[in-house]
Amino acid sequence: MKSARRLLRALLLVQLAAALLIAWSAAAFLQMAPWQAALLGAGSVVLVRLLINMNNFVMAAHFASATPPAFHLGAGARLRLLAEEFRASMLVTSWFVPCARAATRIYPDSRQPPVLLLHGYGCNSGYWAHLLPLLDAARISHATVDLEPVAGDIDDYVPLVERAVRELCAAAATDRVAIVAHSMGGLVARAWMRAHGSAALARVITLGTPHHGTALARFGLGKNAFQMRPGSAWLRTLAASEDAADRALVTSLYTHHDNIVSPQESSRLEGARNIEFGGVGHVALGSNPRVLAAVMDELTGLASGVPRC
């Protein structure tokens, strides 16, 4: 399916059908009261979603890089990590992505570079639901773009990014943008830099991007998942195309408890500014207050004297 929006809507319908079937069976065969049957149906679906989320952590642990002592977690912190990641995953996949549309908002009086937001694998612009209000509060112009098809070649997303950069520059009357990208979106941003250079770029900020690949990409579908496998020819070619000046434009934010990017040190990019976090999951990088504060610090720290057309 081409669109993440349509894909997740279809999956939500499957989950609804499963919940209704369980509820009907409980009422018909177990003689449960309607409210009890409905609770059982909904709870069963939520439980399956929780088990899937937990399994991501288990699979990531098999390929994990060593966690620095400063980022070791106790039992309580691990429970908070799981709870935050599960909440973030449920909101993103069950509400934000199914309802989202790419959009642009311009603040003519802003002196900050406008921001282009690039989502990750299997998502769309809905992933940025928690960052957008912060950009609005800071009066930073911004635009989102949906990278489609969902399972496409990463290089095929580059023309979408180039068009979005040109349109955002024109709308904001400037010649530079900043890019904030989650997961695969960071690789898309680097592929765009390889194709179009960095003249129009103020900064690239990546969140949980598998710069060196992730072992869990072996279980993904599509050309892009294949490209994100550790040691892939695509990743090697991308790295070989970059020089020190390119890497110096990148800030990589990553978590030592990423449940999708594993080994987690894969998000550490040589020559870039690397900022480490602990106790945060992969999807929750887009909503965690500490991470969002770091993103805003990076953006507001850019030179305010943006050249304007």
What are the pLDDT digits (tens) for 258-272? 999 999 999 999 999
In a domain, residue 140? The reply is yes
B/e letters for 242-266, b = 16+ CB within 10 Å, e = fewer, are beeebbebbbbbbbbbbbbbbbbbb
Supply the CATH number for residue 109's domain. 3.40.50.1820
User: Could you tell me if residue 67 is inside a domain?
Assistant: no
Q: How many domains does the chain have?
A: 1
Please report whether residue 295 resides in a domain.
Answer: yes
| Within a domain: 40 | no
Closest CA to 55 of 237, 294, 219: 219
Quote the pLDDT of residue 308: 39
**Considering the domain boundaries, does residue 88 fall inside one?**
no
Say which amino acid occupies 305.
G
Helix (H, G, I), strand (E, B), or coil: what is residue 281? coil
Alpha carbon distance 148, 5 (integer Å): 10
**pLDDT confidence of residue 203:** 97
Half-sphere exposure of 150 (CA within 13 A, CB side): 14
CA atoms 246, 247, 248, 251: torsion sign: positive
Low-confidence spans in the chain with pLDDT less than 70: 1, 303-309
Q: What is the pLDDT of residue 309?
A: 36
Q: H-type helices in the chain, by residue range?
A: 4-29, 34-62, 75-91, 97-99, 132-137, 158-172, 184-196, 223-227, 233-240, 244-248, 289-300
Domain that residue 250 falls in = 104-300
C-beta of residue 277 within 8 angstroms of C-beta of residue 118? no
Q: What is the pLDDT of residue 2?
A: 85
Number of Cβ atoms within 10 Å of the Cβ of 121: 24
Query: Is residue 117 a contact partner of residue 145, using CB atoms and an 8 Å limit?
Result: yes
The 10s digit of each residue's pLDDT in 67-124 is 999 999 999 999 999 999 999 999 999 999 999 999 999 999 998 999 999 999 999 9
Within a domain: 87: no
